[in-house]
Structure 1
Amino acid sequence: MTTALPRPAPEAQAFRAPAPSVRFARAEDAGRLVALSGPFVRAGALRERPLSLYAAHAGDFLVAESPGGRLDGCVGLTVYPAGPVPGGAPTGVLYNFCVAERRQGCGVGSVLLSAALALARSRSLGALFTATTGDGRLFERYGFGPAVPSTAPRSWAESLDPRRGARVLARAV
């Protein structure tokens, strides 16, 4: 599930903060990924995931890290094999996309989404999907639009909880 909490009032220091670097998460980042995702889980914007999942799938995550070593945001990218269409490309799903409240509105989400799109291109994915309970404006700025869940990887689409009211978005890579 992908979303964003309401943005806090901008603080002058937040705008002067250097841009974060983006790297792949490591298993030892699992606790920090749980902590970063926690406010979004409590708000109902993200699914709760156990520490063990973050540790086992750390390689799926890109993290935005401040020069001081704090995690400012993360996004997971799972790759699904090509569908039944001959010559079809693999498909990706972005999930657990979140930015720390202190860094929302500072471009961290854009940095992460740009990095995820570059990674998707490097892996020759045909399309990217995501689901959001938020407004989806960031995704729309990057070319995502409404999608029918049946066009997404089946196992992912079937895992969506309809009670959450998430919108499925997609874009060609």
Structure 2
Amino acid sequence: MTTATPCPAAAQPGALCPPAPGAWSVRPARSDDAAALAALSRPFVRSGALRERPRIQYVSDAPDFLVVEAPDGALEGCVALSVHRADPGAGRPAAGVLYNFCVAGHRQGGGLGARLLLAALARARSRSLQTLFAATTGGGRLFLRHGFAPVCPNQAPAAWVQALDPRREARVLARAV
């Protein structure tokens, strides 16, 4: 995930700054958002920050996603939360994994990522998850500012860790919910 400097209080005319926070909504994604989710993710796939997913996967995974919707209906950010059941045999409680977290480049630095992350944390709490994990190929500053810390991958859900592409050299981060 890349970040940008927030817009100054007296922005230049025509500068791309998000409107007041109340004008935006965070909502669960719908299957008909799949094309917009894929389009929003595409620049991050090209940069190597996200793995490529076919459009049909966005349709099937839509229930995992939260989106930030602009007043005009455009999707400007998204994050997905997958739930991994407890594994008592391995001593692991139920956990969540954040994936496909992105904010449109022209909207970065205005707090939309933080709003998405806080909504994902609330969703994780509502599902009685104990820990939330994320993998990042970048610095992970947003995660770190919100209480995530680097952890050994073997602390995360095994199926998710096995699906990580080692060539991407992602860092695994976690925080208690």
Cα deviations by residue, 1:65-109 (Å, 9 ceiling, x for unpaired) = 111111110000000000225985310000000000010000000
> Structure 1 vs Structure 2: percent identity of aligned residues?
58
Say if 2:59 is the partner of 1:55.
Answer: yes
Cα deviations by residue, 1:118-143 (Å, 9 ceiling, x for unpaired) = 11111110100000011111101111
What is the number of residues matched between the two proteins? 170
Q: After TM superposition, which residue ranges in structure 1, 4 or more long, deviate above 4 angstroms?
A: 8-11, 85-88
1:119 aligned partner: 123
Larger Rg: 2
Q: What is the identity, as a one-letter code, of the residue corresponding to 1:137?
A: R
CA distance in 2, matches of 1:60, 1:101: 22
**What stretches of structure 1 of length at least 5 have no aligned partner?**
none
**Superposed, which structure 2 residues align to 1:1-173 within 5 Å?**
4-5=1-2, 7=4, 10=7, 12=11, 13-15=15-17, 17-19=19-21, 20-84=24-88, 89-173=93-177
Contact 1:22 1:115 survives alignment (8 Å): yes
Q: Which deviates further from its counterpart, 150-159 or 10-19? A: 10-19
SS in 2 for 1:94: strand
CA distance in 2, matches of 1:111, 1:6: 14
Give the 3 Å change call, closer, same or farther, for CA 83–56 of structure 1 in structure 2. same
CA distance in 1, matches of 2:148, 2:18: 29
**What stretches of structure 2 of length at least 5 have no aligned partner?**
none
Q: Which deviates further from its counterpart, 7-16 or 142-151? A: 7-16
CA distance in 1, matches of 2:66, 2:36: 13
Q: Which deviates further from its counterpart, 113-122 or 4-13? A: 4-13
SS in 1 for 2:88: coil
CA distance in 2, matches of 1:128, 1:115: 13
Q: Which deviates further from its counterpart, 77-86 or 21-30? A: 77-86
CA distance in 2, matches of 1:165, 1:18: 37
SS in 1 for 2:80: strand
- TM-score with structure 2 setting the length: 0.90
Over aligned residues, Cα RMSD in angstroms? 1.8
Contact 1:144 1:170 survives alignment (8 Å): yes
Higher relative contact order (CA 8 A, sep 6+): 1
